Structure 1
Amino acid sequence: AKLTCDCPSIPPVSVEVEGTNCPSDSEVTAACQSACQGVGESMEAAHCTNDCLGEHTLLFSCSAGRYVKAKNIKIGESLRTMTSEGPVCSDVYYKFQHEGSYAAVAIDVEGVDEAVVVSQNHLVYVGETFGDHKAIPAKDVRVGDMLVAKEGPKKVTAISETMSGLVNVLTAEPSLVLESGVLISAHSYSESLYGYTFMPFKIMYSMLGAATMGKLMDNADTKNALTKLDYYMGYGIDIIS
C-alpha cells in the first residue's frame, strides 16, 4: 500500500512511499521520516540559496569602526554603503541568519585574496563605474566580467561553487562596500522589487527603533516565520522578475 507523507519542508511537500497493507503508527512515522528527510534538506537549501550573503563576508561597520563578518552584524548597526554621491553609513534594518551551510557562488577577482561569496540570485554589480553598472545575479557572472569596485573595476578571474553559512543583511542604502573594495547589492533578483518587498521591515525599524526591532527579530517564533517568509518572498520576486 502507498502512504502519503506530508513533509514539513519549505514549502510543504507531499510524497508517496511504499508501506505494508496495515502499517502501525510507528511504522508510518518511521517511513515518513525517512522519506521526508531528503526533501526537507533539499527544500531548505533551495530557499536559502536564493538571496543571501556568505556569512564570512567582511563589511565595514561605521558603528564599530572596523570590518566585521556579516554573521556578526546587528540590527541598528551602521555599515558603509555606496550612493551616487559617494560612500555613506547606512543602518541595518533587517538581518536573518540561516542555520547550516548551503551551496553558494564564489567569485574570485584580480588583486583580492578572498572570493566574493554569495547565493546564486544575489545581485553583484558588473561594469566599469558605480552608476553605470548592471546588477545581475551571481549565477550569471562570467570569467572576464568586470565588477564595480571603489578604486576601479576588478576583473573576475574564476568562479566556483562552494558551501557557506548564509545571512540576509539589508541596509537603508542597498549598495554594500566589501573589504576588498568590490561593490555588491544587499538585494537579490531585482533591486527595486526586493526593496519594495522588504519595505514593511524598513518601516517597522523606523517606527520601533533598533533595540525593539532587534528583540523582535531574535524571537524564536519570528525566526520560524521568517524562515518561510524569506523563501516565499524570494520565490515570488523570482517569478515576477
Structure 2
Amino acid sequence: MEILDGLTAWFADPAQWSGSAGIPARLGEHVYYSLLALVLSALIAVPVGLFTGHTGVGGFLTASLANFARALPTIGVLFLVVMAAGIGLVPVIAALVALAVPPILVNTHEGVRSVDPGLRDAATGMGMRGREVLLRLELPVALPLVLIGLRTAAVQVVATATIAAYVGVGGLGRYIFDGQAQQNLSMILGGSVLVVALAVVTTLLFAGARRLLVAPGLRAQAAPAR
C-alpha cells in the first residue's frame, strides 16, 4: 500500500507534468526514438522481405541473418556503437533497429512465400507482370503477417528504448535510470508504468490498423509472429 501511495503521489506532483524533465517531454522523446527506429527498420526490412519472398532468392540467408540479429543483446550492440560513434542518439537508434529488423523481415518474407502458387499462376495468366503480382496479389495477402511483424517490432522497441538513458539521451528510461541512482522507488515504478502503458497503446494502434487494412478472411488466416 505504501508503494502504491508513493506512486500515486509521484504522478500527482505537478512538477512531473512540466519542463524538459516532465512526463509529456519524456514521453515525446520516447515516442520519437521509437518511431524513428521503427520507420528505419521497416524501410530496411520490408523491401528486402518482399524481394526475397517474391523471388525466392536469398531466403535462407535472410532467415539466418535475421535469427543471428535476434540473438544479439541490444545493450551490447548499444555499447559497441557508442565505442565507434560516441554518445548520442545514433547508438540508440542503431541498437533499436538491430532489434526491430528481424521480426519485420522474417514475417514479410514468410507472408509473401505463403501465397498460394495457384493464385500466382492465375495472376500471371491474367497478364500481370512480376511487380504487379507482388503489389496487387502477394503484398495484400501477406499484409496480416507484415503487420504482425511490425507490431512485434514496435512493442519491443518501445520497451527497449529505455536504454537511451544509459548513454545520456532522454525518454522514459530517464525515470528508471535516475530513480535507480537516487534510490527513488516511486520514480522507477512511474517510469515503468509509463513504458508499459505506451506498449499497450502501441498494441491497440496496430490492432486498429489491422482491422482497417486487412480483409476479415485474411485476418483469420494470419499466423502468430515467428
TM-score over 0.5 for the pair: no
Q: Which structure has greater strand proportion?
A: 1
Q: Which structure has greater helix proportion?
A: 2
Greater RCO between the two (CA within 8 Å, min separation 6)? 2
TM-score of the aligned structures, taking structure 2 as reference length? 0.25
TM-score of the aligned structures, taking structure 1 as reference length? 0.24
